Amino acid sequence: MNLKNIITSAIHNLTKQPYRKYIPYPVNYHEKWLLPPLALFIGIFIVIYGHHRPLWYFLPLLDFWIAAIPSVAAAWLMMGYIVQRTYSLDGKCPWLATWWPRPRRRALLQGWHGLVVPGFAVLLFYAFYFIIRHRPDLFWRYLREDFTFVLLMLFGFNLLLWCYYRLRVDEISDHWNRTRRRKADRDEEVALRKGVEVTPYGERIKDRIALFEPSSQKNKVSAVEFDGKAGVDLRTLIEIEAEVQGHHYYMVHRSLIINRSIILEVRKTKEAVHIVLDTPRKGRWCG
């Protein structure tokens, strides 16, 4: 590969529009079950992490509970806020399937709602708490010694939510695709039981559908007929290719499946193979 191709490829990878993975169901973070024990652990840990004594030493001490209960409450409230904002962002500004370089807007919004706002709220919470206890001087000690650790824990919690989201996205998508395939298999079995001859999908559409390409509608595919009319198919191009590949259809690009009858000419150059199409993409080149 020469230097020009390397530079072109690098520019393409840095400027390409990332794709979104279709999620038919929202990701559930199970916050009602996980936040209470997590808040209890974090709240107590923040209070005693600087001391070199075991937990049971502090349990009988009243001062420990006076400090631990507000800490647990603050952790619970802040994590609950972060999860609720994460639900909202998942719907309005979901993470993209590619992490670099393009989820910047979601990362900034997540950082604002998951780090800046909770961090500022924690500061206000403890400022009020120390004033109530008539020890405002402790606030500056808290800001100097403990607040950095609080920000680190907030960052870790957001990172944990992102990792869980990415794992669940793949599971939900795989489950959804398997469910749709099982439904298609059941429909075909019903047709066979009724004695109806099942013609392969590619054979049935070869005289009607000229090509398949991504639709302007989100997560949908356009099935373009020879006269230019476009229908909508809810399957992915990979799923469609598995049904139509062979004698009549070819996937000439990851975003285009064409009927062989609309191929006018095939030309080969040093860089690539180009295909000239007829109706409904007359004169269009595909490399």
CA–CA gap between residue 75 and residue 38 (Å, rounded): 8
Percent of the chain with pLDDT over 70: 80
The predicted pLDDT at position 84 comes to 92
* 96-119 mean pLDDT: 78
Structure tokens at 251: 């996937």
User: In the block, which residue shows the tokens 């079950």?
Assistant: 33
Report whether pLDDT(209) > 80.
yes
pLDDT tens-digit map of 149-207: 888 888 989 999 988 888 887 777 777 666 666 655 555 555 555 555 556 778 888 88
Taking a C-beta distance cutoff of 8 angstroms, is the pair 222, 213 a contact? yes
pLDDT at res. 41: 86
Res 132: pLDDT: 76
Given pLDDT bands bounded at 50, 70 and 90, which one contains residue 97? low
Domain 204-286 fold: OB fold (Dihydrolipoamide Acetyltransferase, E2P) (2.40.50)
Over residues 68-79, the mean pLDDT reads: 85
> Hey, which of 143-147, 159-163, 283-287 has the most confident mean pLDDT?
159-163
Mean pLDDT of the chain: 78
Q: Return all residues near 19 (Cβ < 8 A) that are at least 6 apart.
A: 96, 97, 98
Model confidence band, residue 60 (pLDDT cutoffs 50, 70, 90): confident
Domain spans in the chain, listed from the N-terminal domain onward? 16-178, 204-286
Is 227 within 8 Å of 238 (Cβ atoms)?
no
Residue 77 Cα distances to 37, 88, 118, 231, 252, angstroms = 13, 17, 9, 48, 53
Mean pLDDT of 39-56: 77
The whole-number pLDDT of residue 216 equals 78
Rounded CA-CA distance 16/255 in Å is 14
At a CB cut-off of 8 Å and minimum separation 6, what does 75 contact? Answer: 38, 39, 42, 43, 46
Question: In this structure, what are the phi and psi dihedrals at residue 218, rounded to the nearest 5 degrees?
Answer: -60, 130
